[in-house]
């Protein structure tokens, strides 16, 4: 038995490691927290600093990294660390150094780092192994030494996690020096206006303004605008910079902080001159793995501007708007996760964002202080598992999921429902109609129920049968109550809320459309919601792309493909008609002129580039190309392409390690999948034919084809 | 009603504040955590970095400070901050600046600071007010703005504490630049030894070694020793420095890090010369408010060396030993608190230390990972209240007390007792005899019981009647079980432990003597413990000053004053005979020569300056001068002076804002107290006389006198 274990140990600890795999590693989640503090504390309002109003956590300032080694021959090992560190080989502290020789044989190597300002991190590179996610980390190794000098056994009392990492693969690129990429961009136009100059970069952008041949002494006043009106409003633009310059000879000058704008208005005080203004566009390098093209150029433009909006807001994290907050908001980010699965499939951006939002224990408030945003966090984990199959994430962070759920459970009322307590923000939506956020809001209970279902799933992954049963039972109880309490037989829809035991009369779209998305309704209630809420022109109207996301998704689920395409053309097309080069935080077609720019009681308060504006990417990929995972990580998928009123469409949907390509016109469907297996579903009014594989009829005019090779399946029929 | 409130508000917010009171403020406990990380991560073993093995917490990186003002006239206000900050006056963010003018009237002033590397802190100085502990602070203000621009009401959802402060009373001395004081000291002697030079500073000391007229190029090797043997052992001394020098012309050179030593051995490589070596003694400026003198010069020397030992270990925090760990250990610190009350009465050093030890939630292990050290933390709070009367401390940190107690309660076994679980260190003492640390250790239950009693007291202070009842009931249950489970009628003493339901046969001193200290025993059991354990020469022998502290205190409580003085002369006198200039971590009179220097399996592992060695300060102040508080903060005190075998003694015991002075010889007692009131108790074989006040007889030969004026009371009698 011992021999077998030793052999196994050798296999586990040496084979998967090689010197070229070395990367900077840290306590998982800590880089995400540190980076979030750095970035979220960059917000300014006018020229004042505007920090977030929820708890900012901190990385663990002292972290121990460890690995077990079996070296066939002695090897030289280079060690880099961010912070003050020590190296312990086989339990003995070595003198401070950054190169050690480890003799052949079995060894334990421990490195402990202290760093208050930055995340403790190491990069270790031997000949046969390197630092990677196989290393164990802890913030309390609990290794004490008794009076005889014997070290305590830490094996059972210490909680170890696998190391966190990203892509810091060189000793010269430590995590603390992380920066987004930049590339130079020129201005599209320049115009004298009043005492200054209005520079137009041609489209919404983000980056560092650069002055060329800046000379003289004086003050440079830079007013940023997503619209020309905003840039020219020196008194009301949302962001600005005032910089004192003293350049006796002409020099190029790039601003220290990057900002979002399409326009800048520059005024100089004193004796300043410059030859021109350009910028360094700042972005997260990402592949556009998802694609969509069709016969309708308006839809194509909407997809392109959605993708650009999504890319602008996919930065250090998935943020909300690039001009104003630049904060990580769980409800906004939740939509970015979904869009990301149909565009970049960049899982690290999802986990970076989720880990920052979750932060550390103790939980002292809802995520971003918002009750619904806590629930979106859970549901985001559910989707993440479904799309990526990354169970390791759950294994590392299940305790943090539990403590967040414990926080929720501790705040239920005597009905087992959650109401907004002191300090809780019940957000739901920026709606133009009045709605109560008090008492038992049915929408919140619905999201809470889905969160409990997510916890049951995660408990199952952890083999935590006791909690799995508990979460599942809580979810099922709450689901029953949702119907008994809020479904109105009279209105044939869910009621908005109940306050002090009194049911309101209001029907809002939120609970109703999410119940469709979560498959909580039977056929009869589904139809009722469709007719009475979703397609009822007298129902309350959603004016944010945020909730339009779910509204249109629900309509897609209900088969209203033509209607949804029309809505996309009207709503997103409406923004394009108004000159949008990225999609907005809020759009009410009934407003006119500069009304479109105002929000929060400020003339330019609205964000004109907001992540939640990019949902067509998701809708077109999931409901028109029709691709989605059926089992975790696309091990099994389904492809159900639907043209709606389009003549043809083609596109690609990324999977963890591959792509699913779909082409469809009225006579032909072509699909190929380089990973996983699954079914293509389609409706054909004539009997379809296929080049390879078999077509199986599953209902009248309804067929399916098993897709289980990487080849292209071509089906001819009448679609 | 409104008018009254306004007036009250005015009184509270303006009268106690004045410009000269301005001080740097921060989130309470955060400076203590940050400073503890800085100092505890300075430990080295040889030339390797040796960080603590428990969780290091972090300050809150974003903190909001706020105050309400009523200004009769407009005033100019200076604002300094450590970190990136904003200023919000009456809810509106001002442009970044460090001087604002606030108009006359009612205002709210909020300042929010972000700082990852250092503790967010501010210093605000107006004409009529300044930043002080009346300001409120929070790490999550939860002030969000709705779409109309209206700010949320944060009054009820946010937990505010009063600001923390120390003595950073000038804008130029921010908390991040805190340093202990230094003063130059010369060497007592220098001797050539081998290739180098042995420098003796005459006594144990702490500070920065300084080389005068250092010139040339080469390496300076400095080996530190608390003994000459250690300094000369270049291969085994516990600390050392190796510094590369390149000084073309002669310069004075002071080392960057301070260390503890009496001796240093200097060897140079290359071509280096220096004229002499001195040092900068580094210390916390503290008043020696407690005093003790008597006819016995040995006792006087023991008191002096105890006080010096105490001062050397009273630094940024009360630390254990100054050579090796320089860490904050709760069990060691607990004794420092008690000694402090009889020497410096520096309450801030107590709270600094307690706050660092407690750290932040979540609680992931016992304090310092040691079960007993968690309990000493609670008991330290009990004493702190008793000596200082500072209920504000409890009010600020009650939630942290509760979460630490919850941690304990969650780790009880089915008998409601605590056993060491995985990762728990059950320390008790460094004993030379074998004792089990497994199963239900009676000593741990005893400390647990006292901790629960402390929690009941704190719950009472908080008006938390529900928890008060719960803690009190848990304590009383546990106390009963202690007797039913561990008191052996056969041995007439407490048994050491029970493992898997089986009672051991061993009687150790710990539970028995602490039961005396906590007044848990009736007269019969008290006598049994005294005879069978404390005065039984066959009983197991304590060899650390740590447990001798409690052993001798218990004997004092039992009236064994002569015996205790003899023990002090033998034990502490024994160390002095061996040349001690500070008291040790461990002393076994049976050892000889360099055996006294070894510990932890290392020849110089033992600390020769250890806080727990200084207990005579406490014993002489509390049991011979006989001064102790009877009600919180010395509002009421008792003075019960006892000479033991001394001919005369005199001394002073500090109280929060005053002193109690005591003189006693065989014929006269003189006492005076500048604060509080209480009784002087004494035994006189003849009828005593007094200069002022009344003598009341309370038993045969036993008298008391009410002390309630600041005057000196002189009693003549036969004592």
Q: Helix or strand or coil: residue B540?
A: coil
Report if residue A38 sits inside a domain. Answer: yes
Please name every residue paired with A66 in a beta bridge, in sequence order, or none if there are none. Answer: A110, A136
CA proximity to A347, closest of A553, A7, A154, A632: A632
The pLDDT assigned to A366 comes to: 97
Asked if A58 lies within 8 A of B116 by C-beta distance, the reply is yes
**Buried-exposed string A457-467: b where 16+ CB fall within 10 A, e elsewhere:** bbbbebebeeb
Residue B48 with chain A: CB contacts under 8 Å = 86-87, 93-96
Which of A34, A51, A152 has its CB closest to that of B62? A51
B419 burial (CB, 10 Å; 0-12 / 13-18 / 19+) is buried
Confidence of residue B19 (pLDDT cuts 50, 70, 90): very low
pLDDT (tens digit per residue) in A316-331: 999 999 999 999 999 9
The set of residues, in sequence order, having a beta carbon less than 8 Å from that of B2 and lying 6+ positions away, is none
> Chain B contact for A685, CB < 8 A?
no
CA B25 to chain centre: 22
Residue A95 with chain B: CB contacts under 8 Å = 46-48
**Buried-exposed string A113-131: b where 16+ CB fall within 10 A, e elsewhere:** bbbbebbbbbbbbbebbbb
Tell me the C-alpha distance between A491 and A485, whole Å. 13
Report if residue A237 sits inside a domain. Answer: yes
**A contact test, residue of B27, B29, B48, B54 with most A CBs within 10 A:** B48
Residue B546 with chain A: CB contacts under 8 Å = none
Residue B96 with chain A: CB contacts under 8 Å = 47-49
Query: Which of A:72-111 have CB within 8 Å of B?
Result: 84-87, 93-96
Asked if A149 lies within 8 A of B94 by C-beta distance, the reply is no
Query: Which of B:329-368 have CB within 8 Å of A?
Result: 361-362, 364-365
pLDDT (tens digit per residue) in A388-406: 999 999 999 999 999 999 9
> Chain B contact for A423, CB < 8 A?
yes
Confidence of residue B635 (pLDDT cuts 50, 70, 90): very high
> Chain A contact for B150, CB < 8 A?
yes
Query: Which of B:507-536 have CB within 8 Å of A?
Result: none
The pLDDT assigned to B201 comes to: 98
Question: What is the residue-averaged pLDDT of chain A?
Answer: 95
The pLDDT assigned to B154 comes to: 67
Which of A45, A147, A156 has its CB closest to that of B430? A147
Q: What is the mean pLDDT of residues B8-24?
A: 53
The pLDDT assigned to A155 comes to: 62
Gap from B63 CA to chain A (nearest CA, Å): 9
Report if residue B583 sits inside a domain. Answer: no
Interstrand relation of A636-639 and A677-683 (parallel, antiparallel or unpaired): parallel
* Domain shared by B145 and B222, yes or no: no
**DSSP string computed for B107-133:** EEEEEEEE-SSS--EEEEE-SS-B--T
* Domain shared by B204 and B162, yes or no: no
CATH number at residue A106: 2.60.120.260
Report if residue B16 sits inside a domain. Answer: yes
Q: What is the mean pLDDT of residues A561-571?
A: 97
3-state helix, strand, coil in chain A (%, to 5): 30, 30, 35
Report if residue B454 sits inside a domain. Answer: no
* Domain shared by A20 and A96, yes or no: yes
Confidence of residue A13 (pLDDT cuts 50, 70, 90): very low
Residue A141 with chain B: CB contacts under 8 Å = 53
Asked if B117 lies within 8 A of A116 by C-beta distance, the reply is yes
User: B362 preceded by cis ω (within 30°)?
Assistant: yes
The pLDDT assigned to B479 comes to: 98
Report if residue A529 sits inside a domain. Answer: no
> What is the signed CA dihedral for B485, B487, B488, B492, rounded to 10 degrees?
180
The tally of domains found in chain A comes to 3
| Structural element, H or E, at residue B33 | helix B30-40
pLDDT (tens digit per residue) in B277-312: 999 999 999 999 999 999 999 999 999 999 999 999
* Domain shared by B17 and B165, yes or no: yes
CA proximity to A114, closest of B152, B177, B40: B40
Q: What is the mean pLDDT of residues A239-266?
A: 97
Share of chain A above pLDDT 90, in %: 92
CA A719 to chain centre: 35
The pLDDT assigned to B14 comes to: 37
Gap from B298 CA to chain A (nearest CA, Å): 31
Question: What is the residue-averaged pLDDT of chain B?
Answer: 95
* Domain shared by B683 and B712, yes or no: yes
Gap from B160 CA to chain A (nearest CA, Å): 12
Confidence of residue B155 (pLDDT cuts 50, 70, 90): low
Asked if A49 lies within 8 A of B85 by C-beta distance, the reply is yes
The set of residues, in sequence order, having a beta carbon less than 8 Å from that of A512 and lying 6+ positions away, is A493, A494, A529, A533, A534
The pLDDT assigned to A14 comes to: 36
**Of B260, B283, B306, which closes a domain?**
B283
* Domain shared by B127 and B199, yes or no: no
Q: What is the mean pLDDT of residues B597-622?
A: 96
The pLDDT assigned to A12 comes to: 37
Least confidently predicted of A136-145, A603-612, A631-640, B115-124: A136-145
Residue A336 has pLDDT above 80, yes or no: yes
The pLDDT assigned to A17 comes to: 42
**A contact test, residue of B47, B369, B587 with most A CBs within 10 A:** B369
* Complete edge-to-edge strand list for the sheet that includes strand B75-82: B99-102, B75-82, B121-125, B25-26, B164-165
- Dmax over CA atoms of chain A, in Å, equals 86
pLDDT (tens digit per residue) in B556-584: 999 999 999 999 999 999 999 999 999 99
Query: Which of B:24-53 have CB within 8 Å of A?
Result: 34, 37-38, 41, 45-53
Residue B6 has pLDDT above 60, yes or no: no
**B contact test, residue of A30, A38, A61, A601 with most B CBs within 10 A:** A61
Residue B87 with chain A: CB contacts under 8 Å = 48
The pLDDT assigned to B9 comes to: 36
Residue B152 has pLDDT above 90, yes or no: no
- Backbone phi, then psi, for A449, in 5-degree steps? -60, -45
**Of B238, B264, B283, which closes a domain?**
B283
Report if residue A165 sits inside a domain. Answer: yes
The pLDDT assigned to B15 comes to: 40
Domain membership of residue A20 as a residue range: 2-177
Residue A149 has pLDDT above 90, yes or no: no
Residue B504 has pLDDT above 50, yes or no: yes
Confidence of residue A8 (pLDDT cuts 50, 70, 90): very low
Share of chain A above pLDDT 70, in %: 97
Residue A694 has pLDDT above 90, yes or no: yes
* Domain shared by B44 and B72, yes or no: yes
pLDDT (tens digit per residue) in A642-681: 999 999 999 999 999 999 999 999 999 999 999 999 999 9
The pLDDT assigned to A154 comes to: 67
Query: Which of B:257-276 have CB within 8 Å of A?
Result: none
* Domain shared by A83 and A24, yes or no: yes
Q: What is the mean pLDDT of residues A347-363?
A: 98
Both tokens assigned to B174: 């921010």
Q: Which whole-number Å values give the CA distances from B275 to B206, B215, B223, B259, in the listed order?
A: 22, 9, 18, 22
Which of A58, A154, A157 has its CB closest to that of B58? A58
CATH number at residue A657: 2.60.420.10
* Domain shared by A166 and A244, yes or no: no
Number of CB pairs, chain A paired with chain B, less than 8 A apart: 190
Residue A609 has pLDDT above 50, yes or no: yes
> Chain B contact for A605, CB < 8 A?
yes
**Of A125, A152, A177, which closes a domain?**
A177
Q: Helix or strand or coil: residue B326?
A: coil
Asked if B56 lies within 8 A of A96 by C-beta distance, the reply is no
> Chain A contact for B598, CB < 8 A?
no
* Domain shared by B39 and B107, yes or no: yes
Residue of A nearest to B50 (CA): A86
A579 burial (CB, 10 Å; 0-12 / 13-18 / 19+) is exposed
Report if residue A141 sits inside a domain. Answer: yes
The pLDDT assigned to A147 comes to: 79
Residue B10 has pLDDT above 90, yes or no: no
* Domain shared by B189 and B167, yes or no: no
* Domain shared by A149 and A190, yes or no: no
Residue A9 has pLDDT above 60, yes or no: no
């Amino acid at each position: 038995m011992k021999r077998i274990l030793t052999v196994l140990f050798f296999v586990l600890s040496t084979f998967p490691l090689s010197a070229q795999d070395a990367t900077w590693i840290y306590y998982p989640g800590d880089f995400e927290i540190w980076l979030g503090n750095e970035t979220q504390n960059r917000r300014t309002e006018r020229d004042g600093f505007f920090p977030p109003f929820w708890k900012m956590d901190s990385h663990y300032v002292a972290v121990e990294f460890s690995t077990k080694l079996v070296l066939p021959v002695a090897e030289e090992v280079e060690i880099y660390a961010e912070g003050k560190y020590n190296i312990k080989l086989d339990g003995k502290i070595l003198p401070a150094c950054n190169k050690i020789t480890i003799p052949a044989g079995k060894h334990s190597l421990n490195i402990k780092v202290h760093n208050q300002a930055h995340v403790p991190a190491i990069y270790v590179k031997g000949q046969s192994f390197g630092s990677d996610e196989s290393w164990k980390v802890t913030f309390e190794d609990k290794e004490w030494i008794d009076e005889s000098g014997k070290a305590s056994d830490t094996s059972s009392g210490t909680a170890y996690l696998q190391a966190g990492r990203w892509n810091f693969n060189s000793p010269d690129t430590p995590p603390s020096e992380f920066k987004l990429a930049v590339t130079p961009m020129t201005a599209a136009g320049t115009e004298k206006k009043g005492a200054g100059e209005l520079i137009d970069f041609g489209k919404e952008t983000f980056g560092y303004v650069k002055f060329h041949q800046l000379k003289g002494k004086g003050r440079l006043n830079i007013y940023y605008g997503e619209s020309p009106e905003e840039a020219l409003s020196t008194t009301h633009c949302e962001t600005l910079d005032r910089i004192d310059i003293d350049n006796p000879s002409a020099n190029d000058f790039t601003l220290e902080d990057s900002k979002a704008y399409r326009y800048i208005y520059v005024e100089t005080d004193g004796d300043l001159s410059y030859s021109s203004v350009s910028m360094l566009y700042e972005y997260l390098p990402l592949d556009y793995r998802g694609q969509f093209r069709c016969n309708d150029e308006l839809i194509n433009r909407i997809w392109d501007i959605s993708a650009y909006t999504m890319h602008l807001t996919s930065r250090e994290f998935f943020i909300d708007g690039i001009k104003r907050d630049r904060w990580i908001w769980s409800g906004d980010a939740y939509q970015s996760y979904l869009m990301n699965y149909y565009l970049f499939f960049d899982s690290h951006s999802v986990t970076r964002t989720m880990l920052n939002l979750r932060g550390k224990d103790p939980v002292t408030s809802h995520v971003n202080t918002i009750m619904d945003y806590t629930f979106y966090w859970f549901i985001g984990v559910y989707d993440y598992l479904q799309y990526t199959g990354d169970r390791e994430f759950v294994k590392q962070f299940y305790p943090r999921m539990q403590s967040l759920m414990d926080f929720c459970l501790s705040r239920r009322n005597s009905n087992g429902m959650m109401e907004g307590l002191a300090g809780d923000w019940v957000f739901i939506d920026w709606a133009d109609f009045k709605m109560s956020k008090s008492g038992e809001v049915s929408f919140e209970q619905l999201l809470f129920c889905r969160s409990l279902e997510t916890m049951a799933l995660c408990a199952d992954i952890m083999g935590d049968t006791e909690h799995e049963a508990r979460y599942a039972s809580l979810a099922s109880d709450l689901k029953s109550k949702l119907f008994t309490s809020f479904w109105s037989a009279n209105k044939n829809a869910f009621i908005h809320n109940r306050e002090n035991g009194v049911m309101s009369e209001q029907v809002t779209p939120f609970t109703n459309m999410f119940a469709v998305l979560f498959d909580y309704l039977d056929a009869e209630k589904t139809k009722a919601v469709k007719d009475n809420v979703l397609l009822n022109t007298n129902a309350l109207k959603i004016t944010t792309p945020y909730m339009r996301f779910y509204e249109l998704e629900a309509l897609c689920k209900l088969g209203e493909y033509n209607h949804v395409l029309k809505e996309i053309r009207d709503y997103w097309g409406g923004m394009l008609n108004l000159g949008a080069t990225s999609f907005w935080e809020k759009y009410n077609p009934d407003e006119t002129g500069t009304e479109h720019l105002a929000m929060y009681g400020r003339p330019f308060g609205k964000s004109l580039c907001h992540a939640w504006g990019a949902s067509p990417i998701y809708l077109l990929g999931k409901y028109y190309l029709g691709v989605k995972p059926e089992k975790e990580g696309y091990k099994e998928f389904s492809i159900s392409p639907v043209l709606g009123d389009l003549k043809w469409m083609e596109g690609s949907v990324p999977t963890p390690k591959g792509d699913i390509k779909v082409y469809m016109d009225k006579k032909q469907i072509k699909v190929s999948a380089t990973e996983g297996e699954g079914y293509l579903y389609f409706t054909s009014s004539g009997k379809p034919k296929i080049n390879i594989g078999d077509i199986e009829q599953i209902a009248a005019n309804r067929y399916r084809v098993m897709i289980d090779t990487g080849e292209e399946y071509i089906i001819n029929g009448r679609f």
